[in-house]
Amino acid sequence: MTKLASVEAYAPASMGNVGIGFDIFGMAFQEPGDTVRVEYSDASGVEIVAITGDGGRLPLAPDKNTASVAVAHYLRMIDSLQGVRLWVNKGLPLASGLGSSAASAVAGVFAVNALFGEPLERKALLAACLEGEAIVSGYHADNVGPSLLGGITLITGTAISDIRHLPVPSDLHCVLVTPHVAVETAAARAVLPQNLPLDHIVRQTGQVARFVDALYRDDLAAVVSAMEADLIAEPARAHLMPHLDEARRIAKRAGALGLVISGAGPTLCALCGGRAEADATRHALDALYQESGIGATSRVTCVDREGARIIRSL
Amino acid sequence: MTKLASVEAYAPASMGNVGIGFDIFGMAFQEPGDTVRVEYSDASGVEIVAITGDGGRLPLAPDKNTASVAVAHYLRMIDSLQGVRLWVNKGLPLASGLGSSAASAVAGVFAVNALFGEPLERKALLAACLEGEAIVSGYHADNVGPSLLGGITLITGTAISDIRHLPVPSDLHCVLVTPHVAVETAAARAVLPQNLPLDHIVRQTGQVARFVDALYRDDLAAVVSAMEADLIAEPARAHLMPHLDEARRIAKRAGALGLVISGAGPTLCALCGGRAEADATRHALDALYQESGIGATSRVTCVDREGARIIRSL
C-alpha cells in the first residue's frame, strides 16, 4: 500500500435524544456534516492550520478544539509520536443541537486513522472521538456514536459495546430547521428537571419501549408518535425554542408526522414519510421563521446509514 | 351451532414489570393458571357457586370477586340480562405476584363469552377483564393483558390498542419460586419511590430500550441482563423479598442467566436458557428456602404464547 500524504474525512450531523430518548438515542443525518483534512507534519504534536465555515468563532489552539484533542488522543492510542496538521471545515452550525463538536472530532479521528493506514477499526475510534467531545460536552456518545457509526443508535454507556444500531424506518425523511437563535448546550442542560415523578417515568419508559418496537416493525407513524411523547427534555426546554408549538402544528398541517427538538436545540427536526411531504414541511417552516423575523436555515435530509467516511485521499 | 350448557376456561399466570419495565411490561406463563366454569342460571345476575384452591380465603359475594365482577361487566357489554353461575378453581396462589386476581377475571370472561357463542372477539374482552381486576388492583392491564392475550406484552394504557406483543425468546425457561411469605400488592406499592433522579431515569430508559431490542434480536443473555437492571421497583421492594440477593446468586451459580421479582412479589422468576439449567436452578432455590425455614412452592415453566383458552365445553 502506498503511503498516503493527505486524507479528508466527512462526519455527519446527528440528533441526540431523538425526542423520547433523553441521553440514550442518537440519529445520524446524511447532511450537513463536517470535513477534516489531515497531513503529516515535521513538527511534533497536532496543529490546526485553518478552520473554515465557523465565522471565526472556533479556537485554533489544539487543546481547545474537539478535532485536535481527539486526534491527539488517537495518536496516544497507537503510540505514535508523529506530528499531524489539520484543516477543519465546518459544514455544521455551532451550538445548534446537531452534534457540531462531535462531528469535528469524528472526522478528524477518521481521517488520521486512514492517513496512518487504518491501524484501528472503525469501532475502536470511539474512545478518541469521546475524548474530543468531552472538552465541550462531557463524556457522552449520543452524538459521537451516530456520527461515527451512522444510523439510529441506542447508547447505554461510553464503551463501544454500549452502542447498538436500531433499525432505520424505510420511508423516513427529515426536515432540519435551525432558527437563528443561540441555545448553549450548558444552558439547555441547566433547565432540565432534577427528578421526575413515578407516573411520568412509567409513561416515558412505555414510549421508549414503543419507539424501539415500532422501529423493528417499520411502523413510521408509531415511531414518530413515540418520539413526540418525551416528558423529560421537551417540557423543560420548550421555552428556549422559538415558536415550537406553532412549528409542530404547521409541520403537521404540511404533511409531517411529527416534530421534535434535535438534541439541546434550537434545531427542530420534522419527521416525514416521503420527500414531497418533507419539501412542503420545509417550505412551511421557512415561512414561519421568515415571517416571525427570526430567520432560519433549513434542509431536507435522510438518516445517514454509513457514518464517517473518507471523501478524498492523495 | 348447538347451544353450550357449560364452558370451562383456563387463564395463565403472569408477571407484571418483567424486571426492568415497571408498569409497562407483562409476561404470561404456561403454568400455573386459574380455571373458571360458567353455566346458565335461572336467576338473574352472576352467582359464584364455589371457589376451590384458595383455602377458603376468597369471597363468594359476586361484587367482591374479580371473576364475577368481570363477568357482570361482560353481560352489560353485550346487553344481556341472562343470569350465570360460576365455579372458580384457583391454580394460582393469592397475593404472590403472579396475577391471581387477573387470571380469575380473564378465565371468567373468556368462559362466558364462549358459553354465549363468542359474540365478542378475544381483544374486545379486555375491558371486562379490567373491570374485574380493578376492584383489587386498580385499572391496569399488566397482568390482565398477558393473561388474556399470552406472550410478552408492552402496555402503555388500558385500551386494547395500547397493548402490543413483543417477541418471545426461543430458549427461555422460567423458574417460579414463591416463598411462603405474604406480600400484599398495596404494601408493595406503598414502598415505591415517588420520584427518581434524572441519571437513574436515563439508565432505566436505556435498559428498557435494550430489553426490547434484545427481544427482537433473540439475544437472551442481553434480554435478561436488561431485565435485571431495574432501578424503580426492585431497590424499593428488595427488603420485602426474603433472601433475594442470595436467591439471585444461587440461581446464577446453578445456571440461570438472571432473576427478577415477579410483579409485586414475593414470587421470584429465574430466567434460564434451557430446561436443564431451569431444573438445576429450581432445585437450588428450593434448597435455599427449605434450609432457611421459610419454605417455597416452585415450578419450571415457559412463556405462554396463547393466553386464555377453553379447556372443556358441553
Domains B6-166+304-313 and B173-301 share a fold: no
This complex has an ipTM of 0.96
Q: Measured between CB atoms, does A194 come within 8 Å of chain B?
A: yes
Report how many helices (DSSP H) and strands (DSSP E) chain B contains, helices first: 10, 12
Chain A residues with CB under 8 Å of B25 CB are 209
**Rounded to 5°, angle at Cα B11 from B5 and B12:** 155
Q: Measured between CB atoms, does B204 come within 8 Å of chain A?
A: yes
**Nearest-angstrom CA–CA distance, B40 and B115:** 8
Give tens-digit pLDDT for A231-280: 999 999 999 999 999 999 999 999 999 999 999 999 999 999 999 999 99
CA–CA min distance B197, chain A (Å): 4
Are B192 and B236 in contact by the 8 Å Cβ rule? The answer is yes
**Residue A120 neighbours by CB under 8 Å, 6+ apart:** A74, A77, A78, A113
pLDDT the model gives residue B1 = 56
Smallest Cβ–Cβ distance between B202 and the set A22, A194, A212 belongs to A22
Cβ contact, residue pair B195, A192, below 8 Å? no
As assigned by CATH, the class of the B173-301 domain is alpha beta
The owner of cell 506530528 is A83
Are A300 and A276 in contact by the 8 Å Cβ rule? The answer is no
Measured in whole angstroms, how far is the alpha carbon of residue B110 from the centre of its chain? Answer: 16
pTM, rounded to two decimals: 0.96
**Nearest-angstrom CA–CA distance, B285 and B245:** 12
**Nearest-angstrom CA–CA distance, A262 and A249:** 17
Q: How many CB pairs under 8 A join A and B?
A: 100
Cβ contact, residue pair A195, B198, below 8 Å? yes
Are B74 and B125 in contact by the 8 Å Cβ rule? The answer is yes
CA–CA min distance A197, chain B (Å): 4
Evaluated on CA atoms A185, A187, A193, A194, the torsion sign reads positive
Closest residue on chain B to A210 (Cα): B154
| Run of H or E residues at A149 | helix A144-149
**Nearest-angstrom CA–CA distance, B307 and B121:** 13
Cβ contact, residue pair B204, A201, below 8 Å? yes
In chain A, domain spans: 6-166+304-313, 173-301
Cβ contact, residue pair A213, B25, below 8 Å? no
Task: Answer whether the bond into residue A266 is a cis peptide, omega within 30°.
Answer: yes
Chain A residues with CB under 8 Å of B232 CB are 198, 201
Closest residue on chain A to B22 (Cα): A202
C-alpha distances (whole Å) from B308 to each of B34, B76, B243 are: 10, 21, 33
Q: Measured between CB atoms, does B21 come within 8 Å of chain A?
A: yes
Cβ contact, residue pair B22, A205, below 8 Å? yes
Cβ contact, residue pair B154, A211, below 8 Å? no
pLDDT the model gives residue A34 = 98
The owner of cell 373468556 is B110
pLDDT tens per residue across all 314 residues of chain B: 578 999 999 999 999 999 999 999 999 999 999 999 999 999 999 999 999 999 999 999 999 999 999 999 999 999 999 999 999 999 999 989 999 999 999 999 999 999 999 999 999 999 999 999 999 888 899 999 999 999 999 999 999 999 999 999 999 999 999 999 988 777 888 999 999 999 999 999 999 999 999 999 999 999 999 999 999 999 999 999 999 999 999 999 999 999 999 999 999 999 999 999 999 999 999 999 999 999 999 999 999 999 999 999 99
**Rounded to 5°, angle at Cα B75 from B73 and B78:** 110
Give tens-digit pLDDT for B107-156: 999 999 999 999 999 999 999 999 999 998 888 999 999 999 999 999 99
| Range B6-166+304-313 classified under CATH 3.30.930.10 | no
**Nearest-angstrom CA–CA distance, B281 and A57:** 62
CA–CA min distance B38, chain A (Å): 36
Task: Answer whether the bond into residue B93 is a cis peptide, omega within 30°.
Answer: no
Chain A residues with CB under 8 Å of B142 CB are none
Q: Measured between CB atoms, does A24 come within 8 Å of chain B?
A: yes
Chain B residues with CB under 8 Å of A27 CB are none
CA–CA min distance A304, chain B (Å): 20
Q: Measured between CB atoms, does B232 come within 8 Å of chain A?
A: yes
Are B114 and B66 in contact by the 8 Å Cβ rule? The answer is no
DSSP calls for B177-202:
EEES----HHHHHHTS-SEEEHHHHH
Cβ contact, residue pair A166, B24, below 8 Å? no
